[in-house]
Structure 1
């Protein structure tokens, strides 16, 4: 099962390949940082006006593991 991270770009990840997830704040913005098991890192910005809620994505990834 894939988790859609950004509907506009179509970015999705396979939760089975996720190594870690964490929140980060930079310049007043919140990001979800997803590190895959192979070391590749995906950064998703919290953009509720565009339908991207990183807290909800974090929960979906935790539930999928």
Structure 2
């Protein structure tokens, strides 16, 4: 395992900055992800979409 530096976010207890050397990071189109988020039902959909939209516009998207 390699630590990629920075303070990673955790999702489900997995630190996003710790990546196996065997696995290449998956890259996804941020606009497709935003569309997927907007199609999901739920009380936090609008907030999640706005957070993602801001990250895309500010150039902070890492997908």
Q: Report the TM-score, using the length of structure 2 for normalisation.
A: 0.28
User: Which structure's residues are more often strand, by fraction?
Assistant: 1
